[in-house]
Every structure is written in C-alpha cells, then in structure tokens.
Amino acid sequence: MISGVIKKLLTTTVFTVLILGTFANAASDNRIDGIRVWPAPENTRVVFDLKETPDYSYFQLSSPNRLVIDFSSTQNMVALAELAKKDQRILKIRKSKPKAKGGTRLVLELKEKYKLSIFPLAPAGQYGNRLVVDLFDQNRVVRKVNPQSNNKRDIVVAIVAGHGGEDPGSIGARGSYEKHVTLKIAKKLKKLIDAKKGLSAVLVRTGDYYVNHNRKTVIARKNKADLLVSIHADAFTSPKPSGASVLVQSSRRANSEFSRWIANRQRESELLGGAGETIKKTKDFNLALTLADMKKEYTMATSYAFAEYLLSELGKVTKLHKKKPEGLSLAVLKSSDIPSVLIETGFISNPSEEERLNSSSHQYKLAEAIFKSIDRYFVSNAPDGTYYASVGYKKHRVSRGESLSVVAQRYKVSVGQLKSVNNLKSNVVRIGQTLKIPRAD
C-alpha cells in the first residue's frame, strides 16, 4: 500500500518536472549567441546573432541617453563587459530587468543622442538570424580632400573598398575575407593617387565597417568626386575561374534610375550634376528630359571609356577574366552624375589567386595598374578647371622639314592624337605653327 503511494507520488513529481521543463524551454526558446560592435567614422553598428528570428521591441531614454532593447523569450549567452571598449558612441552595454519572464533586456548607454535604425536580418552566407542596430551621428562629417593644386582644382577619385564590418564579402578556401583584401588595395591606391600632383583620393571606407550603397554615392558626391572606383574580389562555386574584370552600369539600371530622377527632379536635382539647377527650375519637361538624358549618356560613356583604360592596365599585371567592360545592374554604379566602375581584382575562390590577392606586392601591382589607368584617362580627358587640364599638353613649334608624323614620332604619340587635340582636318602643318602635344600613354 505504502509502496503504491510512493510510486504514484514519484510519477506525479516526474510528470510535473517534465511539464515545468517544457514551459521553461518555451519561455526562452531563443538565445543571443553573439554581439558584434563595428565602429565607423559616421556611425556604429551593433549586430546581435540569434538562434531564431528575433522577437523584440525597443525604446530610447534621455538624461542620460540610453537605448533599451527587449528580446522576448530569449536568453543572453554573451559576456557584455568588454563589448563597447573600443567604441566612441557606446559607453556600456548591460543587462536590466526584463520586460517579461524568460526575456532579456539589454541597455546601450550612449555618449549622446544618435539617429537610430534597427532591423532584423534573415540568415545569409555564414550568418544566421540577426538584429542590426545602427547609431548615426546627428551631423555626419564628410571627409574633404585637397581641392586645389596651383590654383587649379584636383581631380577627385572616390575609392570604395567593397564590403566591410559584418559583411565579409566572398570568403576564400583558406579563409581570406574579401573585405580585408579590398581595403588593403584601396589604401595602396589612395597613396599613389595622393602622391600625384593634380589628383586627390577619398576612401569611402577607411576601416572594417559597413557603408550602405546609397551612402557610398552620397560621400562621393559631397567630396565632388570626378570618378568612383569600387574594388572587389570575385567568387564562384567552382575554384577554377580566375582573372580580373571591370563592370559598368547596365543601360537597364541606368534607365530605371533615370526615370526616378526625372520624376523627382525638384527634390533630387543634385543627382543630375551641373545641369541640376536648370533641370530643377525649368517648367519645360522636354528640356528637363533632354538635359538629364545628355548627362546620363555622358556618365555612362565616360564610365565605359575609363573601363577600357582599366582593362588595358590590369591586363599587364594579372590575367583578365573578361577582356571587355561588362554591364550589370549594381547599386554602387547607379549614380547618373559620377562616372563609376566596379573592379573585380580576381577570384578569391581560386586558391592560387587567393594567395596572390593576399600578397602585398600583388596588391600594389593591382593598385598601380588602377592608378595608371586613372592618370592616362585624365591626361586625355581632364575636366575643365583642373590642374591636369592646365598641364595636359606640351607645346611644339613646327620647324622646317618637320611633318605631323615626324612630330608624332618624336613625342611617342599617334598622328591621330595630334590631329584630335589640335582640331586638324588634314596631316598638313606649316612652319612656325604651334601644336599641342598630349602626354604619351
């Protein structure tokens, strides 16, 4: 009789423990496995890695400034003490009493009030479920470059190092991250550009953080960039493909962006370049359409022409995957007022090429090839008012016995180049005539 009672009590107890255990698991069926803080010049990004899709809410407090995030039915598995140690915007990340039982409340103590963006991300690549928090400075500072050389402005090149922060880009077989390779090449390129009189460079990304595509063109535009160069490393499911390629905006993407700009020309006239104010103010829609279309066509033609220079120089230091510029619909190439190209410096998914892309000497060769193409292109196509435009041509006075072909041979340029820059209709020159001589390619 007693043993039967004990057996019944034990069964009831085990059943109760199982039920409570089930409720306990249901109360915390998600967990925070990682928290990553990515400081950048204009913002800080905090990424929460979770087991499942986050169920969250948040609010902000002032005096002192805090961001409070509640994760429902979630356990935190991350040590918080050192997370914000190297960040200038977040003073501390700590736990607080949760909003509901089984949840987690995290408090970000902030240095000041920031513009906030918070959103979840679905699993992608090496990452699972995430919650992303962006803290933007109220007054973003745009990096300025030296605008003048000898009272003539510099040609400004905006350099985008692809990916960054929690976005590693492609990952090689040996674990190389595209984001690290592109930044190293970008920094080498900037040094070469800044050392050349008449050229200045601005790095859109200076460290290991993410810059969204729209912000890239905003930074380029505010620095009055004449050219945008985006540096990447390609990847494929097979390790076989190799070689560099250069991408430009596809006409399809350009036309869709063009339609948007025209529809919003009152608000977005700056995106249409020098003719922007005229386009904005005119009541003649056909005139606005014509001016904007001319600007778009000029930008696309310039991008393609520069891309050909790039391929010519890159082909001297690495294998080419594509020997002609390829048109694709990519967000970083969408600007209608800034000629833009995207350079795939090689396939990081190819073991041999991955090794080369991690080599400092090969990175320098790639940067030097890009620099040479920039220099060559702007020698022949310098914007008005720039230092390059003022010194782009030597002068030669024709002497007795000299012909156009003799002058061309002397300066190592083609007869066609001489005729083009001097607006000559024929090969005939006269004694005493002054010719402009373009720099040899």
Average pLDDT value for residue range 224-253:
86
Question: Which range in 39-43, 74-78, 165-169, 282-286 is most confidently predicted, on average pLDDT?
Answer: 74-78
Percent of the chain with pLDDT over 90: 49
Residue with tokens 């016995």: 401
Q: Contacts by 275-283 with C-beta closer than 8 Å and gap 24+?
A: 276/337
Mean pLDDT of 167-194: 94
Average pLDDT on 141-160 reads 75
> 14 is written with which tokens?
């085990």
What confidence score (pLDDT) does residue 152 get? 87
Ordered by where they begin, the domains of the chain are 27-136 (2.60.40.3500), 148-380 (3.40.630.40), 392-438 (3.10.350.10)
SS3 at position 150:
coil
Calpha distance 227→306 (Å, rounded): 9
Q: What is the pLDDT of residue 367?
A: 97
Cα 168 → chain centroid: 13
Given the structure tokens 């520069």, which residue do they identify? Answer: 306
Task: Taking residues 305-323, report their average pLDDT.
Answer: 93
pLDDT-derived band at 332 (thresholds 50, 70, 90) equals low
Task: Name the percent of the chain lying above pLDDT 70.
Answer: 78
- pLDDT higher than 70, residue 243: yes
**Model confidence, pTM:** 0.72
Q: What is the DSSP string of 335-379?
A: -SSS-EEEEEEEETTSHHHHHHHT-HHHHHHHHHHHHHHHHHHHH
For range 31-41, the mean pLDDT: 94
pLDDT greater than 50 at residue 18: no
Amino acid at 247: L
Give how far the C-alpha of residue 260 lies from the chain's centroid of Cα atoms, to the nearest Å.
Answer: 22
What's phi and psi for 185, nearest 5 deg? Answer: -65, -40
Q: Has residue 224 got a pLDDT over 60?
A: yes
The pLDDT of 290-316, averaged and rounded, is 78
- Of residues 313 and 124, the one with the higher pLDDT is 313
Nearest to 158 by CA among 249, 248, 228: 228
Mean pLDDT for the chain?
Answer: 82
pLDDT at 149: 52
